Amino acid sequence: MVMPPFDKEFFRTDRLALEAHNLFDLVEKLDTLAPGFAAIAQPRVHFAVDGVIETDWSRVLSPAAEVIVLPRVGGG
């Protein structure tokens, strides 16, 4: 699931079905669909995998994993 603003900014859809080994792999595949996404993924994106924010992009994704692409929020 691709949350705003990335759905409209890059993909023109809020749902995609992709096979990816891990989140690095997913970023590459998303960048293929929307060139430029990989360049902003690290500074602007958080991924939630099956409902939990995942900071280790090398962790293997299960075939049925649901990934939410979220704006990265820091703090003050």
Contact residues toward other proteins (CB under 8 A) are 1, 3-6, 8-9, 12, 39-40, 42-44, 48, 51-56, 68, 70-76
Which residues lie across from 52 on neighbouring strands?
A: 49
Minimum gap (Å) between residue 53 Cβ and other proteins: 7
Q: Given the complex with other proteins, which of 62 and 73 has the nearer CB atom?
A: 73
Give min distance, CB of 23 to other proteins, in A.
13
